[in-house]
Amino acid sequence: MTPETVEAYGVRLRPSRLTDVADTVAACADPVTQRFMPGMPDPYTEESARWWITEGEPAAWAAGGASYAIADRATDRLLGAVGLSNPVPARRQLEIGYWVAPWARGRGVATAATRALAEAAFAAGTARLELLTDQENTASQRVALAAGFRPEGVRRSAGTARDGGRYDLAAWVRLADDPPGPTARLLPDLPDGRLTDGVVTLRRLGPADADPLHRLHALPEVVANRVPPVPPTRESIERRCRLAESHWLAGRSADLAILDAATGTVAGGCALVYDEPATGQAMLGYSLLPEARGRGLATRAVELLADWAFDVGLARLWAGTRPENVASQRVLEKVGFQREGLLRGRLPGPDGARTDSFSYGLLAADRTR
């Protein structure tokens, strides 16, 4: 590739200029930019911007990559940057990355620039593009999906933090022969961000739910149904809440808080784990805090989640319960799940023992009888 101007999808990709210095400083000193791009200087100064424009960007091209300013096609004002790095010539592979200035966010700028540069890279002979994001940077993951990249897993400890620590990166990939357009999601967002029947409301789990979720999963009767049956740490619950949106976007799971619709307080949690996308099957689980039990809230929550799952294309749901968990079995049976068998020694129990599990299944047709 050569540093020529690219115009597509409503944006202009052009070489950076010294007239961009002030906007580059304002954008790269922004807290969100700094948070998710730990390799940037902090503080980001005018000197940092000048170095990038005069030395850093030319060096990116010299190393076999690319670097562009994203500019407004009408005014030519800087909106962000997009580039290619880490070439692997033997694989015809490059890594694509971007940042967007605060004044340009929410306008589809990153998606447009990523699509434009990806197409230019493929036209120049690249076969595979990787896009790596902090797992908590869900805005960037939404860009990846919109630009046609597919989730490929997690690179453990692939990122280096400012303090020298390591963190995981979500990997998204697009191939030269992938179909154009956005990547279809296995698990779409909830309509208006929630499901409700007026009594129970379900919404995506978030960082603010760590307290009630940890209290819930530390209860002995809930721990007994965990795999393995040990209490979770507070840190693991916080991480689960922080990464819930990322896992949802990748199509791995829909992790939800169950709310009492009258008060808005968290009553419990439920989750849909898409364990077999190839067959359209997902596992469903749920639990309630003690003060919310005995009011039919679990049944309502499972009904809402099951109906949504079938609406978005799943074919089959399954759930498992220990034989002694009669309350959970009643919830499943009320929703229409059918007991399909006993799986002997399926689950790890305390002290190395194994625990049996009843298996329940639900098809879309079962909910329409």
Cut 0.85: pTM above it = yes
Mean pLDDT of 196-202: 98
Q: How confident is the model at residue 327 (pLDDT cuts 50, 70, 90)?
A: very high
Q: CA geometry: angle at 144 spanning 142 and 149, to 5°? A: 135
pLDDT in tens, 85-114: 999 999 999 999 999 999 999 999 999 999
pLDDT at 369: 52
User: Average pLDDT of the chain?
Assistant: 96
pLDDT at 146: 98
Residue ranges per structural domain of the chain: 6-175, 191-368
pLDDT in tens, 226-276: 888 899 999 999 999 999 999 999 999 999 999 999 999 999 999 999 999
Q: How far is CA 46 from the centre of its chain?
A: 34
Name which CATH class applies to 191-368: alpha beta
**What type of residue sits at position 158?**
A
Reported as half-sphere exposure (CB side, CA atoms, 13 A), residue 273 has a value of 8
* 160, β-bridge pairs: 166
Q: 221 pLDDT exceeds 60?
A: yes
pLDDT at 1: 67
pLDDT at 225: 84
Q: How confident is the model at residue 352 (pLDDT cuts 50, 70, 90)?
A: confident
* Residue 48 to residue 91: CA distance in whole angstroms: 33
Mean pLDDT of 43-52: 97
Q: Is residue 151 within 8 Å of 162, Cβ to Cβ?
A: no
Q: How confident is the model at residue 351 (pLDDT cuts 50, 70, 90)?
A: confident
* Residue 135 to residue 129: CA distance in whole angstroms: 18
- Phi, psi values for residue 126, rounded to 5°: -65, 140
Domains 6-175 and 191-368 share a fold: yes
Let me know if domain 6-175 sits in CATH 3.40.50.300: no
* Residue 225 to residue 265: CA distance in whole angstroms: 24
Mean pLDDT of 120-124: 96
Mean pLDDT of 280-288: 97
